[in-house]
Structure 1
Amino acid sequence: MLYNITHFGKLNMDYSDNPPDETVSRVNLLGNIALAIGFLLPVWAVMKGNGDAEMAGGFIGGSLVAVFIILLLLKGILKTHPPLRMACAKLVVAIVLILMSLGKIGAMKRDIGAIRAASQSLVATMNEKGEPSGSVAPQAASEEARQVVAFVNGAGALLKRQVAERELLDKEFEKIDMSTLLTPQTLTSRKGIADSRAKTARYAELIDQRDKMIVAAVEEGRTYVRTAKVPEQYRSESSARAKVGEETLKHNAALSAVGKEFIKGVNNVLDFGQSQLGKAKFQNGQLMFASERDVATYRSLSAAIEKIGVREAAVVDQFNAHLEKTKRDAARQLGPAIR
């Protein structure tokens, strides 16, 4: 009897060294740690720049609801089973959550990579550089990211075409030799005056083309942004887009106005030169007029053109500064995707 009692005491001692509730507590602790890891992995990815905060937040929110419902169902199903079984079930759910989180991180990395590559290409186009070198861009994993990539690529294609059209127009402007427009030889020659009139007419025609091209480009950009299929949060603010377009049109209108004013001033000098044919002469490298009154008229017309030229240079600088600011602002907005 003593032996039995002693043996029972020994058995009881062994049992207390590793009680079931301690095992349950350990498994529960592991499950809780694993759940925390599963929920925090997407947050860590976002902090490391390998994920999108909104996508990660959506995943975490959905996972919280799903895990809560699953654990609630398991608790009901396993309420008649030993506590250890529920603890193990929680651990399994946590492991599955970790695997899903890792999969989500991989998908977010592919999305970020695809958007980054598209954004780099767009910025290169804005800066009129070639395509950025590097490895092939990964395919976006989510439908939302695919829409964003398609939107950015579409904007890049639109911008490339507009840049090409502008470059062609710039070349047409460059073909006009303005250096001989009002030289003494030109103003004392019927052919020279006719050639200069043809140049000013062509210059005015190109200004009109530029006006139409810029108006069409601004409207085309607005229409593309307004109608493209893309998540709304990736669109720029409508007011900001409208403001940029309005600023571009305003600067272009100023540029066109001063250009047309320059043409008018040149034509005034050409008209005066036409009236002086046979009277004004080019001698010893100088333009000679028949009277002081004619000299004063010529100087007045020339001074007016010089003033217009100064204003035109200032307007061109303002227009170019606006274009550079637009590029910088766009690059800054795309910065998070590029980095």
Structure 2
Amino acid sequence: MGNKVYIGVVLLLWGSSMTWLVGSKILPPFLHGEPPKTAIKSGEPVCWKVCVGQQHIGWAVSQAVPGAEGTTELHSRVKLEQVPLSRMAPRWMATVIDNIGPLQLDMRSRTTLDSLGNLSQFDVSVELNDLPSAILMRGVIEEGFIRLRLQYGEVVHRMNYPWPEHAMLGSKLTPDDKLLSVYPGRRWQKEIYNPFGGPQGAIEMIEAEVTGEESILVDEEVIPTRRIEYRSLDSTGVSADDRRRSTVWVNMEGSVVREEIVLMDVMLRFERQSPERAKRKAEQLLELDQYATLSTPEPLPSPEMRE
């Protein structure tokens, strides 16, 4: 019984955290505005410190590397300790999770983009507390469908969902690296498709607005940023003040330096770390020499180290 509860909670959290971005739009661009472009630099890791309130609960790190036959692989790992499960799970699960306690979650993923930059497949493994087996998920894009295979131990489930052309897969647990051409007053809408969608259904409209400029403290340094608020739209296309999904702070060069997201009923805060710390955490957590298709060679030692 306990293992089934764990698995159900993990799937619920995973499904809630994923964003399946649809390429098609409800409205033409000149009516709702085009979203700013994102940028991924191959070989440069990005690391985030994850907090709930003032409590540091873990790390999220990602890095894009070349794959086989002109593909690109985006590797990411989210490692969280003391996740407040009782606050994150929906109320209807309260009676079955009261005795579970805090959650330790280790989620590793590899997303493969083809030579044209389109999603080809992804693999996700989730280790939870002291469960004997990881929960494994694989998704492959074939003939307009995403074909999912979920496995825990000997149990395997298969699911198929329609997949629009040029759609991309994202996650609330790995913020964007860069958002380009962001300026005060800019507003856009995007359509999100999530086959695990909750009460709002599988398709949800999100409105984003750059609400202004704001100075924030990052690594003990005050820097100017532009604040972006993402809100859910109701069926009439009206944004409700109490339905803010996330807030993003972008510096003047377009780099995302902070993000706050609502996952279930908990606000998670992601604080971007310095490039030096990102490299250290990527080496420690991603283990690309083991998990990348094209193994990353060990760096040559410096002259001082060779002496």
Q: Which protein, 1 or 2, shows the higher relative CO under an 8 Å CA cutoff with sep ≥ 6? A: 2
Global fold match (TM > 0.5): no
| Higher Rg of the two aligned structures | 1
TM-score by length of 2: 0.17
**Larger strand fraction of residues:** 2
